């Protein structure tokens, strides 16, 4: 009752504040003040409890109405705020409006609360749900999430003069958090995984928790990084530890298995990321927080035209064959496509790519307790084998929008793409540095010369080219033969060469530009279309392998340590169905 009385008191204060509106002259036209829906004190019962199959895609209604209804929080700055003109703005609100404009439909914001949003989505009152929607694993049984578009984190705030450098230094200390926030779950999961013992203290507001920290009543406060940055009054009045307590990935929520609607949303997020719009919104509303251009992986085939709802299939396809997990549980074997039988004289890059893909799927199968049955020489038709039900999964698949109507594609587990290799003693970093120099290219990389010319032209830097017939000859081309000043090519070819001669060769970092890649090709897995439980099993397993370092160890054959990707790990327990993934 104490919590509810506090809420009623806060509402009373808010009404009193509105009653103090200053007077205006009679000739001033007053606009009616917008109002907010008070927080729902008791969550309503799930209107769609259980796994209810979608019979009609939200695409149908959006196209019929010419509008998209977006559930948003109206009192969650800087993500969503209702102003005196009755307009909602903020990072989430502006992103939703931009998506609607991209689709050529009307943007219809609808206020939700943290308690009502999911029910309103399930019952069709809104088409998609935004507003601080953290992709938590426990929600995957009810709804489906888009790709992450903003990566916040549950972080630890300590006093400025605290000697703690990492979370391990908080062992045995007292930590504060705010009731009703994700901090409690994040702290619990962190303790379970780390084994670190702490004492916790709850507070009603973040301001109370921060005051307790300042007054030495607690040694740390856990909340989202966005909230912690807002509560620190000055830069030197608290520090946030770099090591995070837990991830907090924000995504767009749709009804479960509405696959074509989810695909349109993901394709639009990728398009807006490619166009720089997501970065613009980040700079507008989230200044001071780091922005990662890798956050929204852009698949091949994204194109230059805006994604539109009428370009997507409007049906809700379900697997024509048996769902994968029951079949796996019966056979105890997973059928894997996407492998090839390489000859002994195959290039080192191909051998490593094949070896890594096999090692990843074999590690995953071992976690599940299944054997791996490879479908031989199935690289060329791997996706078709999955789509037809002849394979359960395809590995080493380039994420490409042309495949989205055949299979579901997982998040990427690694990437490759165009990089530049130089002698370690040389100071070349960009194509501007290579003006009037010679750039080596591999004879078997289609379009490499054109791509390199485009980069040189963009830097107003003319270069000449030297063709390398065998990737193993690239080091000599730079070091002993001096036929080129740099080599431009796929990282799969360049990384083994740098690893073999680390004292002589390196990959460039493009100067102060944090993006060392000239192109990105994301590699993931293909699974049966709309077989959501199997896709989640694959996604969770990949995430857990990143969490415990297994994936990084495997990818060390094809990626340098500084290029190792950061996985998008959704918060939640490591167990899924009957599988122990952690």
Q: Residue 258 is part of a domain; what is its CATH number?
A: 3.40.190.10
- Tell whether 303 and 187 lie within a shared domain: no
Residue 279 is assigned to a structural domain of this protein = yes
What local confidence, expressed as pLDDT, does residue 51 receive? 56
- Tell whether 409 and 350 lie within a shared domain: yes
Is residue 386 within 8 A of residue 529, CB to CB? The reply is no
What local confidence, expressed as pLDDT, does residue 566 receive? 83
CB atoms under 10 Å from CB of 75, counted, come to 16
- pLDDT, one tens digit per residue, over 163-188 is 999 999 999 999 999 998 999 999 99
Residue 538 is assigned to a structural domain of this protein = yes
Is residue 314 within 8 A of residue 60, CB to CB? The reply is yes
- Tell whether 162 and 201 lie within a shared domain: yes
What local confidence, expressed as pLDDT, does residue 84 receive? 85
- Tell whether 348 and 378 lie within a shared domain: yes
Is residue 257 within 8 A of residue 144, CB to CB? The reply is yes
Is residue 120 within 8 A of residue 110, CB to CB? The reply is yes
Buried b (16+ CB within 10 A) or exposed e, 374-413: bbeebbebbbbbbbeeebbbbbbbbbbbebbeebbbbbbb
Q: Among the three residues 268, 285, 311, which one is the final residue of a domain in this structure?
A: 311
Phi, psi of 192 (to 5 degrees): -60, -40
Residue 304 is assigned to a structural domain of this protein = yes
- pLDDT, one tens digit per residue, over 515-569 is 789 999 999 999 999 999 999 999 999 999 999 999 999 999 999 998 988 889 9
Residue 35 is assigned to a structural domain of this protein = no
What local confidence, expressed as pLDDT, does residue 11 receive? 37
Residue 512 is assigned to a structural domain of this protein = no
- Tell whether 411 and 438 lie within a shared domain: no
Domain count, the chain: 4
CA distance 516 to 294: 12
- Tell whether 402 and 475 lie within a shared domain: no
What local confidence, expressed as pLDDT, does residue 512 receive? 65
Residue 531 is assigned to a structural domain of this protein = yes
CA 75 to chain centre: 25
Phi, psi of 61 (to 5 degrees): -70, -40
What local confidence, expressed as pLDDT, does residue 43 receive? 34
- Tell whether 271 and 299 lie within a shared domain: yes
Domain that holds residue 138: 58-149+251-311
Is residue 238 within 8 A of residue 35, CB to CB? The reply is no
- Tell whether 540 and 397 lie within a shared domain: yes
Q: Which of 277, 345, 299, 276 has the alpha carbon at shortest distance from 519? A: 299
- Tell whether 378 and 497 lie within a shared domain: no
The parts of the chain modelled with pLDDT lower than 70 are 1-51, 511-514
Q: Among the three residues 264, 285, 311, which one is the final residue of a domain in this structure?
A: 311
Residue 471 is assigned to a structural domain of this protein = yes
Q: Among the three residues 464, 483, 507, which one is the final residue of a domain in this structure?
A: 507
What local confidence, expressed as pLDDT, does residue 513 receive? 66
- Tell whether 391 and 333 lie within a shared domain: yes
Q: Find where tokens 């078997």 sit.
A: 444
CA distance 54 to 257: 7
pTM over 0.75: yes
Residue 36 is assigned to a structural domain of this protein = no
Contacts of 293 (CB under 8 A, 6+ apart): 273, 279, 514, 515
- Tell whether 298 and 437 lie within a shared domain: no
- Tell whether 447 and 495 lie within a shared domain: yes
């Amino acid at each position: 009752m104490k919590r509810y009385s506090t809420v009623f008191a806060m509402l009373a204060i808010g009404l009193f504040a509105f009653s103090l509106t200053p007077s205006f002259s009679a000739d001033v036209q007053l606009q009616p003040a917008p109002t907010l829906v008070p927080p729902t004190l008791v969550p309503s019962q799930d209107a769609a409890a259980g796994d209810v199959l979608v019979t009609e895609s939200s695409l149908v209604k959006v196209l019929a109405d010419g509008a998209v209804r977006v559930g948003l929080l109206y009192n969650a700055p800087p993500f969503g705020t209702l102003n005196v003109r009755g307009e909602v703005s903020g990072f989430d609100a502006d992103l939703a409006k931009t998506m609607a404009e991209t689709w050529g439909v009307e943007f219809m914001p609808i206020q939700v609360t943290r308690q009502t949003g999911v029910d309103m989505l399930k019952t069709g009152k809104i088409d998609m749900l935004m507003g601080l929607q953290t992709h938590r694993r426990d929600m995957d049984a009810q709804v489906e999430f888009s790709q992450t578009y903003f990566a916040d984190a549950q972080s630890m705030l300590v006093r400025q003069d605290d000697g703690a450098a990492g979370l391990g230094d908080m062992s045995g200390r007292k930590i504060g958090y705010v009731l009703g926030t994700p901090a409690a779950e994040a702290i619990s999961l962190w303790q379970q995984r780390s084994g670190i013992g702490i004492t916790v203290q709850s507070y009603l507001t973040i301001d109370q928790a921060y005051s307790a920290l300042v007054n030495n009543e607690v040694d740390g406060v856990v909340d989202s990084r966005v909230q912690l940055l807002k509560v620190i009054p000055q830069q030197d009045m608290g520090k946030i530890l770099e090591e995070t307590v837990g991830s907090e990935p924000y995504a767009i929520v749709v009804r479960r298995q509405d696959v074509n609607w989810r695909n349109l949303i993901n394709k639009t997020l990728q398009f807006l990321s490619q166009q720089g719009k997501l970065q613009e919104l980040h700079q507008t509303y989230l200044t001071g927080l780091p922005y990662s251009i890798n956050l929204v992986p852009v698949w091949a085939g994204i194109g230059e035209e805006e994604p539109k709802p009428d370009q997507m299939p409007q049906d809700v396809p379900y697997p024509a064959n048996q769902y994968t997990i029951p079949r796996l549980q019966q056979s105890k074997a997973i059928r894997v496509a996407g492998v090839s039988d390489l000859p002994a004289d195959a290039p080192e890059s191909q051998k490593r790519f094949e070896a890594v893909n096999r090692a990843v799927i074999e590690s995953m199968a071992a976690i599940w307790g299944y054997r791996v049955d490879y479908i031989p020489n199935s690289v060329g038709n791997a996706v078709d084998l999955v789509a037809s039900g002849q394979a359960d999964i395809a590995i080493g698949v380039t994420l490409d929008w042309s495949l989205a109507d055949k299979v579901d594609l997982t998040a990427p587990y690694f990437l490759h793409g165009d990089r530049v290799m130089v002698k370690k003693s040389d100071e070349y970093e960009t194509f501007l540095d290579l003006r009037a120099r010679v750039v080596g290219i591999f004879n078997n990389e289609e379009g490499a010369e054109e791509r390199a010319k485009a980069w040189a032209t963009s830097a107003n830097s003319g270069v000449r080219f030297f063709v390398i017939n065998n990737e193993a000859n690239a080091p000599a081309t730079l070091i002993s033969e001096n036929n080129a000043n740099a080599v431009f090519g796929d990282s799969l070819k360049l990384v083994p060469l740098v690893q073999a001669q680390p004292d002589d060769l390196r990959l460039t970092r493009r100067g102060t530009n944090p993006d060392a890649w000239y192109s990105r090709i994301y590699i993931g897995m293909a699974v049966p279309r709309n077989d959501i439980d199997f896709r989640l099993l694959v996604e969770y397993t990949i995430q857990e392998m990143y969490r415990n370092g297994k994936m990084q160890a495997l990818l060390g054959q094809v990626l340098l340590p500084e290029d190792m990707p950061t996985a998008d790990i959704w918060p939640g327990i490591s167990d899924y169905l009957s599988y122990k993934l952690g």
